Structure 1
Amino acid sequence: MSSSIYYRLAGQGVTLGLHGANSVVMLLSMQNEEIMKDPDVKRMTSMQSRYLTVWNIAFQMSYFALAFTCDLLTVTGRDNLIPKSIRRFRQTYFSSVIFTVAAVIFTIFWPIFIYDRELLFPAFIDKIFSFKSNLVMHFCILPAALWEFAFLPRHTPKSHRLNLGIMVALFVVYNTVILHTYYERGLFPYPIFHHTYGTIYFPIFQALVFFLGLTVYLAQFKLYSLLWGKEKIRNGGKAKSS
């Protein structure tokens, strides 16, 4: 058994611990009645389910819980309990959602945050979410995905149709949610949409996000070939597989 599986288990455990602890801290902070009197904070917390960041945390926690269970079963010699469909789902889920979404959020969030945080993460949010929580939600997500990326044996799919279909569906669903939120409540989850909606910059921004996601998705296999070598990829990563 390759040692890579133990590195994966360590990374999965740390990631689940970080997200779990951070979720508890944030939930407790939202119990502070004094803070919740702030209308901006109250409005933001009422839209928790509309933030891509929150979706991504749910994606990562569900993926790493599944991955940890699969790898733990493998280490304990019970990998026969893992259906092939679950193994395939894990690979597809990681390639199309986990790695891609984490990289897109990281790449978009930090340059805009540094330029003008009010466009994505207004200062009033500091009343309820500390900078450490911000780091877990927007920074640690990429190292977590990269760690799994580095130690998970994979191969380039013969067809990218399924993965791309999942990405397109996710893009359409999320944009439907934010537009529905605007038509329902007159609000967008992120202030940048308020500034750009009704202008040419709104579709341009959406297009840039989509093509960034597409670029990240395709680039991961190029990067993977550099990391593992073409021969190992053709063999499905068997040289280092668990």
Structure 2
Amino acid sequence: MEAPPDNDVLWARSLHFTHRDGSPALGGVSLGVREGEILAVSGPRGSGKTTLLHCLSGLVPAQRGEVWFNSVPVHTMGATARERLRRDRFGWIDPAPVLVPELNVWENAALPLMLRGTSRRRAKAAAMEWLERLDIGDRSRSRPHELTQAERQRVCITRALAPAPSILFADEPTAPLHRADRNHVLRTLTTAARSHGITVVLATHDPDTAALADRTVPLMDGRRVTTVHLPPITEPEGRAAEPEGRGAEPEGRGATCSLSV
């Protein structure tokens, strides 16, 4: 078993994963992530991005291959050790916001800290700092059902950032947000990661989001490729389409992302 390079905080070799229905999700993906790097995993839906993040974070063990975090083999850990690793060192943002309905906004945001044993006062202070940065501090005492979906997603992003994780895994983190909100949230996320030395692994099918990363790993059909043709980004029903202009793709056209890996 070969140890990963010293300058990689996260390293994976030849990851394979097949879904229960027999369809392949990963077909031998290898990559390394440097400490403090923002890495985008890009590709269309169904390309294996989410499965890759699940395997890298230890949420789901790869069926074949190796995953190392700070030279520690995650792929040999048991379920309890992987759960502890995710709680203490990793942060996670899902594409759909999921909050504890019985807790208010700041309690939801502070929950990972309190689970680690941080005092309620210190956990609240850390959560409030990030809620303010994400422009939702004024809703700190609201319950999840009183928030819009976009507001709930900001709380989820706060919950992931407040504990200052070593690595933040973000799976389409701005999917529920209006286009106007995306740039602000993404800039807050990337600026916070750089200022706090947080390594970010970001899955996205949006080329504008991938462009904010230091480096991009494109996937297609569960394998690394050098060119990805991305489908056009469509707004959810009920949202007005943006006029064509700088940075927008004309209607009906996809985006081509040519990248060196």
TM-score, normalised relative to structure 1: 0.29
Structure (1 or 2) with the greater strand fraction: 2
Larger radius of gyration: 1
Tell which has more relative contact order, 1 or 2 (C-alpha 8 A, sep 6+): 1
Structure (1 or 2) with the greater helix fraction: 1
TM-score, normalised relative to structure 2: 0.27
